[in-house]
Structure 1
Amino acid sequence: MSTFTIFLVLIVVVAFLLIVVIMVQNPKGGGLSSSFGGGGTQQLGGVKKTTDFLDKSTWTLATLLLVLILVSNIAIDRGNAGIESKALDTDAQSTQPLPAVPTTNDTTTATPEDSAAE
């Protein structure tokens, strides 16, 4: 299993967790935070602490996702390709012949005045 594949799996897992954490949140007091703070005096964490946890976990997972995406770019196996684009290769540009421009001495070519008259 290559390093890039490991990063890819981690990115998918973190993205899924981020989706779950975002879907659990509800800014109007519903969702998971309302079920923990249900109205009794004995609360499992309380509404404020649950909201803080969800908020911190959202930012942590989003930051982790961004870092994993950036670091996975380093792990991509590029092989021995070197320069991938011929447009960036200066040697390839100098060795390619220019296309021949056809020269015609034909007097039957249309002029702008001729096309305007039609």
Structure 2
Amino acid sequence: MFTLLISLIVIFSALLVVLILVQNPKGGGISGEFSSSGATQMFGVQKTGDLVEQLTWGFSIAILVLVLVTNFTLSDAKETSTSVNVEKAATKTVPVAPAPVAPKQ
């Protein structure tokens, strides 16, 4: 389950990076590619920008939700199992220091 969640986070993150790189902050980006006369009638510049923006928000929210679910999945696993260091510390015996010798008078 944990591996599946991490894999989805990595895939969505890569897609989000691609979507962000496709956008142009000055209104160009992929919307500018469809600005010719025939493509404007078919796709519409505003709709393309809306789609890219919606996908960006969707992937961002999906990553946030997956990270939270992964955190809760991981914290449930930590409560049921103990650390290897805790187990070793419980079985280890600590040597007792020798009693101090009183000086002779």
TM-score of the pair, normalised by structure 2: 0.67
Structure 2 unaligned residues grouped into runs of 5+:
87-105
1:47 paired to 2:48? no
The equivalent residue for 1:81 is 82
Residue 80 (structure 1) shift: 1.6
Structure 1 unaligned residues grouped into runs of 5+:
86-118
Residue 63 (structure 1) shift: 0.4
The equivalent residue for 2:17 is 19
Q: Out of 13, 31, 44, which is 1:33 matched to?
A: 31
The equivalent residue for 2:63 is 65
Identify, as 1 or 2, the structure richer in helix.
2
1:7 paired to 2:28? no
Q: Alignment length, in residue pairs?
A: 81
Residue 73 (structure 1) shift: 1.2
Between structure 1 and structure 2, the one with the greater Rg is 1
TM-score of the pair, normalised by structure 1: 0.61
Give CA deviations for 1:89-118 in whole Å, capped at 9, x if unaligned: xxxxxxxxxxxxxxxxxxxxxxxxxxxxxx
Opposite residue 36 of structure 1, the aligned amino acid is F
CA contact (8 A) 1:37 1:45 kept: no
